[in-house]
């Protein structure tokens, strides 16, 4: 479920509360026992996200790679409060960050719980420590005062540095790690080479990292581009603007924890958008509804097993 922005926020959470600490690693579910044994008792030394992949480094240059897939989640609990907010300066240049709700761990009480998946939710405070694993916990990472439980991942494996490099090497550029001109050029060259529809290219993690079904639909709408256009037929300037818009939206997503894809001129607009969290997009999940711009009914196609939404009038 989570698109790139959530994974970067999870990586931050580990950087804040686990890096530098000795970690007791286990697999309460029993499906990752040997991997957990390799890591048990080591100190976490780094936390990075590339696209939708989370990489946690431990002593002896061992890495844990986790991909949440469509319904994986991390549950953090314990002393996860922090003086340093997950969000720092606001991308949009106003004081959007002032409206951060209680979903963030800022000022959360000791022994609170925080679930991080495509959404972030605070759960009731704990009364026992460490908490009993609930349900199918693939991996538990436990420090003196924090715990992270992983459930439902599509990938969870221990890797050597060269294996990490191999995984990262197959991924397209991630604007959060690399918003350089080279990254934009690489994305642009790849897209302009391919006959594949742009709607599929944006979802291809070897072309560009971190985009999922929501950002795909919204980026194409914002570019007023027909998702079926072959990559090689998209004007180069449009390809470049797609990249730059992804840089922009990803930064907003990482700062706010929300997939904000519309413009919010005033703070009130922004608050309303958060309140109507299930109807805050241009086209995503709006099949049959009138386009917010032109009133034409939004269409939906199945493309490579995923629902693709677009406005046939605005996007040509």
Residues that bind DNA (CB under 7 A): 1-3, 6, 29, 31, 51-52, 67, 69-71, 73, 118-119, 135-136, 151-152, 154-155, 203, 205, 211-214, 259, 304-307
Measure the N-to-C terminal CA separation of the chain; round to a whole number of Å: 28
Residue 112 CB, nearest approach to DNA (Å): 16
Question: CB neighbours (10 Å) of residue 113?
Answer: 19
Q: Based on CB atoms, which residue is closest to DNA, 156 or 225?
A: 156
Q: Which of 29, 26, 100, 9 is nearest to 64 (CA)?
A: 26
DSSP letter, residue 197: B
Active site includes 52? Answer: yes
Query: How far from 99 is each of 9, 37, 95, 195, 255, CA to CA, in Å?
Result: 18, 42, 8, 43, 12
Residue 38 CB, nearest approach to DNA (Å): 20
Two structure tokens written together for 198: 């742009």
Determine which one of 12, 52, 65, 286 is catalytic: 52
Q: Based on CB atoms, which residue is closest to DNA, 73 or 142?
A: 73
Q: Which of 102, 135, 137 is nearest to 121 (CA)?
A: 102
Question: CB neighbours (10 Å) of residue 295?
Answer: 10
Q: Report the distance separating Cα 231 and Cα 204, nearest Å.
A: 12
Q: Report the distance separating Cα 127 and Cα 196, nearest Å.
A: 54
Residue 12 CB, nearest approach to DNA (Å): 17
Active site includes 3? Answer: yes
Active site includes 161? Answer: no
Active site includes 170? Answer: no
Q: Report the distance separating Cα 9 and Cα 119, nearest Å.
A: 11
Residue 222 CB, nearest approach to DNA (Å): 16
Q: Based on CB atoms, which residue is closest to DNA, 10 or 44?
A: 10
Q: Based on CB atoms, which residue is closest to DNA, 42 or 155?
A: 155
Residue 246 CB, nearest approach to DNA (Å): 13
Q: Based on CB atoms, which residue is closest to DNA, 44 or 50?
A: 50
Determine which one of 3, 91, 184, 255 is catalytic: 3
Active site amino acids: 2-3, 52, 306
């Amino acid at each position: 479920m989570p698109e790139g922005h959530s994974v970067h926020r999870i990586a931050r959470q580990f950087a804040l509360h686990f890096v530098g600490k000795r970690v007791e690693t286990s697999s309460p579910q029993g499906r990752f026992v040997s991997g957990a044994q390799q890591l048990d008792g080591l100190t976490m030394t780094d936390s990075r996200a590339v696209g939708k992949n989370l990489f946690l480094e431990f002593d002896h240059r061992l890495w844990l790679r986790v991909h949440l897939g469509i319904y994986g989640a991390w549950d953090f609990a314990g002393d996860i409060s922090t003086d340093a907010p997950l969000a720092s300066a606001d991308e949009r240049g106003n004081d959007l960050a002032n409206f951060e709700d209680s979903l963030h761990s800022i000022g959360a009480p000791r022994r609170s719980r925080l679930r991080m998946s495509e959404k972030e939710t605070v759960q009731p405070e704990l009364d026992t420590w460490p908490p009993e694993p609930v349900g199918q916990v693939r991996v538990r990472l436990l420090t003196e005062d924090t715990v992270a439980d992983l459930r439902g991942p599509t990938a969870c494996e221990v890797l050597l540095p060269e294996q990490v490099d191999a995984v990262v090497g197959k991924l397209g550029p991630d604007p959060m790690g690399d918003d350089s001109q080279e990254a934009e050029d690489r994305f642009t060259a790849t897209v302009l080479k391919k006959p594949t529809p742009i709607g599929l290219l944006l979802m291809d993690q070897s072309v560009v990292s971190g985009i999922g079904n929501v950002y795909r639909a919204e980026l194409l709408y914002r570019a007023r581009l027909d998702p079926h256009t072959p990559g090689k037929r998209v004007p180069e300037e449009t390809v470049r603007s797609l990249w730059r818009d992804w840089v922009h939206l990803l930064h907003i997503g990482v700062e706010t924890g929300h997939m904000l894809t519309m413009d919010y001129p005033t703070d009130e607009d922004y608050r309303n958008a958060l309140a109507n969290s299930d109807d805050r997009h241009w086209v995503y999940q709006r099949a049959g509804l009138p386009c917010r711009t032109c009133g034409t009914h939004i269409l939906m196609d199945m493309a490579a097993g995923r629902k693709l939404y677009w406005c046939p009038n605005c996007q040509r």
